[in-house]
Structure 1
């Protein structure tokens, strides 16, 4: 069995970086080093005082130390890692773009005065969970030893449990909406014959190459090389069929 340090080093870069930032920010808040007010998403202060960092820092706070915080962190460590190491394997730029697009979508949704949500961390985690559930829809999940269900239904089960235990429905639901928007634009719409309109921008690829994040993407086959053999298809759609980048 590997040590905790070896396990941590084995994690893919984006999930590891995001989970680490969430843990550090929450720890700093609990120790009184950081007041969450100064990283909250307050649009009045963003536009009037030019405190633009709030557009980013609000996604790194998952609440104080609690069972819910531990569950959210485990969701990053499990579902975010599985997503990055599975459907997004060797596609670090695409995974980073998914996170950026999800954060931007949530910023737009959070701008609606009705919601009035100061932190987007929980929503971003639920976006990851939703995309994972669509990419790996047929895995069997044992939910707290109470019920076994397909992974496709896990985001909705987690949302229902949060509501039952008194949490607000909106962070979870907005995360699901952002995740579905990404999945629709990158998978469902192209599968229906539509044009791929959400390709990973070149500047995201440059960031990944500049910082050497993750394994490099597989190279294109040389001219004249035989085409790759198609994967076995048993008639069940199991997830992504299109790449985000060319």
Structure 2
């Protein structure tokens, strides 16, 4: 059995960075050195006082240390990591672009008054969960040892649990919407004969290469991966 340090070091870079910043943000809140108000997504200060950092910082606060916080963190550690090590293996730039696209989509949705929520971190986690559920739709998932179901239905099951436990469901719904939009543009639409409109920009690839994230060979292996095994796998799952 690996030690906690070995487990942490084995995590892929993007999921590890996202989870680490979320933990650090909540720890800073409990230590009294971080006020969530100054990280919340408030569009008036963004546009009137140029507090543009709010467009980013709101994604890293998952709430106080609690059972819900632990569940969200475990979702990153399981579903985000499985995505990054599975369908996005050697494709760190593509995984980062998925996260960036999801963040922009959530910001656009939250700009609608009835869909606004001050923190979109939970929504981004649910986006990861939704994409994972579409990549592994037939995987068997056991929820708290009580209910077994296919992964395809897991986002909706988690949303139902939030309803039962009295947690707000708007962040969950926003994450599901963003995840479906990403999956539609990158998988469903191209499979139906449409154009791939969401290719990873060159600047994201250059950023990943400059920071030396992921495996060194990812840039060279990407074209073969995206047009080979990964595409056939996704096509098979859609028919399933």
Q: Same fold (TM over 0.5)?
A: yes
Residue 108 of structure 1 corresponds to which residue in structure 2?
A: 108
Q: Which residue of 2 aligns with 1:127?
A: 127
Report the more deviating stretch, 164-173 or 100-109: 164-173
- Which structure has the larger Rg over C-alpha atoms? 1
The answer on whether the counterparts of 2:109 and 2:116 sit within 8 Å (CA) in structure 1 is no
Can you give the 5+ residue segments of structure 1 that lack an aligned partner in the other structure?
Answer: 222-227, 240-246
Q: Output the CA distance in 2 between the equivalents of 1:168 and 1:161.
A: 11
Shift of 1:237: 2.1
Matches within 5 A, 1:167-178: 167-178=167-178
Matches within 5 A, 1:116-155: 116-155=116-155
Instruction: Tell me which stretches of 4 or more aligned residues in structure 1 moved more than 6 Å.
Output: 228-231, 233-236
State how far apart, in whole Å, the 2-side matches of 1:236 and 1:197 are: 18
1:53 aligns with 2:50: no
Please give the alpha-carbon distance, in whole angstroms, between the structure 2 residues aligned to 1:84 and 1:139. Answer: 17
For structure 2, list consecutive stretches of 5 or more residues without a partner in the other structure.
none
1:122-178 deviations in Å (ceiling 9; x for gaps): 000000000000011111000111110000100000001101111112100010000
> Per the alignment, do residues 167 and 102 of structure 1 end up closer, same or farther by CA in structure 2, a change over 3 Å counting?
same
Residues 134 and 235 of structure 1: CA distance in aligned 2, closer, same or farther (over 3 Å):
closer
* Structure 2 equivalent of residue 217 of structure 1: 218
The answer for the alignment partner of 1:19 in structure 2 is 19
The root-mean-square deviation of aligned C-alpha atoms, in Å, is 2.0
1:8 is displaced (CA, Å) by 0.4
Change over 3 Å in CA distance of 1:229–1:162 after alignment to 2:
closer
CA distance in 2, matches of 1:234, 1:77: 23
Query: How many residues are aligned here?
Result: 232
